[in-house]
């Protein structure tokens, strides 16, 4: 069943949002996290998960959060020691954040420290309300002009409703309301949060009514909302796609639900996928993927498996096992692929 957060829980969540990443655990203005908290909307601030100390950060891939004297987040770096790395879940190796009045501006950099695009744009400018809560987002090109991201979105608008939900609408350069992306053809979205500020579902709305999306990519019974579950550490353990009645519904590529398992550091060690009948995914996909990491947290092996955890070849590529190698700094250096007989491809 879907639940909507209470007003008291909403207040707690808004406090979390206004902190722009949660509380600092030290007085140094720096915090280190192995992971970032799951999010489905840029309304949510970048939030760290699985905190580590400065000594651990010297040898671990991590996200370095830097704060100003007002405890505002001004930088997020995906890094090991002093080396920026590729593979950040933010899409950029470094995000620099500046503040001017009610504006919060994000600039993006690659692992070489060079300016780069994020989701197809050079700059993201958030508009904040009087409480520091995000109410809008515009994308700019390198010349500072309004532009569309890779999904055709030029700006977002958000409103925190009395129900505790956050309403999201998106628009293109012509000012027309547009969808999230071609694989999620949803217009107005509403996000619900629990008392920890973790998003629990993303629902499709028309006006004030939740509706069933039945267009292409929404399966044969339609899609109304996504539901998310977490473990005590804040790792997302379940992502399910549901129709208006709560029934599992296939989204694109035929899956309706996946479950993740994590190690103690928050690294995903297994992902299992299921269809709308809650049966293991079949057809041209694999139902289970297992992952192995090195001591630094770099992915070194992924394995395609059946539901009984036997190695299988991917129906499209024929690949069963992929192994990744890195240089001493943590940058990718080689990729090797094998079939289920461990014959190199």
Q: Return mean pLDDT, the chain.
A: 90
User: What's the rounded mean pLDDT across residues 30-40?
Assistant: 96
User: What's the rounded mean pLDDT across residues 246-265?
Assistant: 91
User: What's the rounded mean pLDDT across residues 212-235?
Assistant: 89
pLDDT tens digits for 286-323? 999 999 999 999 999 999 999 999 999 999 999 999 99
User: What's the confidence (pLDDT) of residue 65?
Assistant: 98
**Confidence check: pLDDT of 12 > 90:** no
> Which has more confidence, 22 or 231?
231
Domain stops at, among 158, 190, 209: 158
d(CA 334, CA 332): 6
Does residue 298 lie in a domain region? yes
Which structural domain, as residue segments, surrounds residue 335?
A: 284-345
User: What's the confidence (pLDDT) of residue 7?
Assistant: 44
pLDDT tens digits for 126-176? 999 999 999 999 999 999 999 999 999 999 999 999 989 999 999 999 999
Does residue 73 lie in a domain region? yes
The full 3-state SS of the chain, as one line of letters, equals CCCCCCHHHHHHHHHHHHCCCCCCCCCCCEEEEEEECCCCCCCCCCCEEEEECHHHHCCCCEEEEEECCCCCEEEEEEEECCEECCCCCCCCCEEEEEEECCEEEEEEECCCCCECCECCECEEEEEECCCCCEEEEEEECCCCCECCCCCCCCEEEEEECCCCCEEEEEECCCCCECCCECCECCCEEEEEECCCCCEEEEEEEECCEECCECCCCCCCCCECEEEEEECCCCCEEEEEEECCCCCECCCHHHCCEEEEEECCCCCEEEEEEECCCCCECCCCCCCEEEEEECCCCCEEEEEEECCCCCECCCCCCCCCEEEEEECCCCCEEEEEEECCCCCEC
Do 4 and 145 lie in one domain? The reply is yes
**Confidence check: pLDDT of 343 > 70:** yes
User: What's the confidence (pLDDT) of residue 216?
Assistant: 76
Other CB atoms within 10 Å distance of the CB of residue 208: 10
Please list, in sequence order, all residues whose beta carbon lies within 8 angstroms of the beta carbon of residue 166, skipping any fewer than 6 positions away: 41, 43, 158, 159, 160, 190, 191, 193
Q: pLDDT band at 181, cuts 50/70/90?
A: confident
pLDDT tens digits for 186-209? 899 999 999 999 999 999 998 889
Count Cα atoms within 13 angstroms, Cβ side, for 328.
0
Does residue 264 lie in a domain region? no
Do 2 and 136 lie in one domain? The reply is yes
Structural domain count of the chain: 2
Does residue 311 lie in a domain region? yes
- Total-model pTM: 0.90
Least confident of 67-71, 78-82, 220-224, 330-334: 220-224
Domain stops at, among 114, 136, 158: 158
**Confidence check: pLDDT of 15 > 90:** no
Does residue 60 lie in a domain region? yes
User: What's the confidence (pLDDT) of residue 3?
Assistant: 47
Beta bridge partners of residue 177, listed in sequence order: 171
Please list, in sequence order, all residues whose beta carbon lies within 8 angstroms of the beta carbon of residue 328, skipping any fewer than 6 positions away: none
pLDDT tens digits for 70-82? 999 999 999 999 9
Does residue 90 lie in a domain region? yes
User: What's the confidence (pLDDT) of residue 28?
Assistant: 65
Beta bridge partners of residue 209, listed in sequence order: 206
Does residue 252 lie in a domain region? no
Q: pLDDT band at 118, cuts 50/70/90?
A: confident
Domain stops at, among 158, 178, 202: 158
Do 8 and 145 lie in one domain? The reply is yes
Does residue 272 lie in a domain region? no
> Are the beta carbons of 201 and 236 closer than 8 angstroms?
no
């Amino acid at each position: 069943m879907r639940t909507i957060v209470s007003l008291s829980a909403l207040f707690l969540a808004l406090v979390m949002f206004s902190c722009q990443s949660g509380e600092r655990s030290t007085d140094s203005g720096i915090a280190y996290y192995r992971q970032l908290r799951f999010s489905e909307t840029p309304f949510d601030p970048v939030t760290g998960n699985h905190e580590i100390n400065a000594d651990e950060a010297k040898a671990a891939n991590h996200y370095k959060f830097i704060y100003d004297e007002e405890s505002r987040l001004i930088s997020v770096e995906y890094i090991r020691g002093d080396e920026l790395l590729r593979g950040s879940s933010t899409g950029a190796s470094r995000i620099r954040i500046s503040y001017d009045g009610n504006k919060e501006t994000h600039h993006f950099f690659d692992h070489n420290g060079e300016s780069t695009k994020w989701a197809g744009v050079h700059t993201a400018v958030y508009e904040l309300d009087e409480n520091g809560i995000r109410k809008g987002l515009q994308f700019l090109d390198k010349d500072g002009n309004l532009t569309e991201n890779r999904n055709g979105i030029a700006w977002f608008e958000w409103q925190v409703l009395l129900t505790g939900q956050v309403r999201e609408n998106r628009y293109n350069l012509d000012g027309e309301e547009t969808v999230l992306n071609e694989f999620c053809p949803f217009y107005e979205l509403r996000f619900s949060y629990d008392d920890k500020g973790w998003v629990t579902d993303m629902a499709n709305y028309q006006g004030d009514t939740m509706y069933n999306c039945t267009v292409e990519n929404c399966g044969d019974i339609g899609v109304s909302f996504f539901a998310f579950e977490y473990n005590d550490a804040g790792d997302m353990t379940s992502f399910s796609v549901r129709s208006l009645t709560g029934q599992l519904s296939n989204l694109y590529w035929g899956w309706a639900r996946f479950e993740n398992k994590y190690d103690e550091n928050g690294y995903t060690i297994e992902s299992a996928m299921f269809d709308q009948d809650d049966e293991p995914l079949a057809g041209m996909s694999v139902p289970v993927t297992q992952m192995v990491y090195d001591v630094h947290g770099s992915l070194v092996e992924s394995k395609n498996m059946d539901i009984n955890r036997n190695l299988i070849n991917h129906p499209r590529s024929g690949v069963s096992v992929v192994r990744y190698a890195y240089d001493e700094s943590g940058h990718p250096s080689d990729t090797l692929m094998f079939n289920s007989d461990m014959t190199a491809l």
